[in-house]
Amino acid sequence: MKIKSAEFVVSNSDVTKCPKDMLPEYAFIGRSNVGKSSLINMLTSRKSLAKTSGRPGKTQLINHFIINKEWYLVDLPGYGYARVSKSTKKVFQKFITKYFEQREQLICAFVLVDIRHKPQPIDLEFMQYLGERGIPFCIIFTKADKLKPNAIDNHVDDYRHIMLETWEEMPKHFITSSSKSIGKEEVLEFIDELNSGMVENA
């Protein structure tokens, strides 16, 4: 898939105010500071479509971007560490869960995980939440340029071993690096396939 246009549409914390049309949506979410904004900018070939920040917890709203006038890329707030008050964090969690449970247009969530770290309970818990609610998702491992290929394989295997204790199979996953544009084609091709499948089944 070639991205010809990527435009910001709306930011809000109220799921009922998200776009009303039925274009397919793909949501990107992960722990704060996982490299989500950089990944979105890399996928869309835009330098600052999503705002990057050295300060974790910068994305605090549901952000919709329309891609090629055909589908929405949705940038969601990070879960876990963020320099915000506990009451604000509770509101985040509430509207994130409302988004996932009420948004019929959502085709797939991409859960971003920093490949450099061992499996983190908060990531595993979030994926468990999606699985229990039957929400389709894939894992995007970020920052792959920071590790050697063997270390990447070992870390993915760590996830596989833990997840296969409770899952029938390891979810589909992608290895990415925003600074080296690794994984860009694979992620976009996957989205393209899902969009094409929907057109064929319509």
| Domains of the chain and CATH, by start | 6-201 (3.40.50.300)
> What would the pLDDT profile of 62-86 be if each residue is shown by its tens digit?
999 999 999 999 999 887 654 555 6
Residue with the two structure tokens 């409770």: 166
Edge-first strand order for the sheet with 6-12 is: 6-12, 62-67, 71-75, 25-30, 106-114, 137-142, 173-175
* pTM to 2 decimal places: 0.91
| pLDDT for 57 beyond 80 | no
Exposure on the CB side of residue 97, measured as CA atoms within 13 A: 11
What is the pLDDT at residue 33? Answer: 86
% of the chain beyond a pLDDT of 70: 88
CB 140 within 8 A of CB 37: no
Range of lowest pLDDT (8-12, 30-34, 104-108, 151-155): 30-34
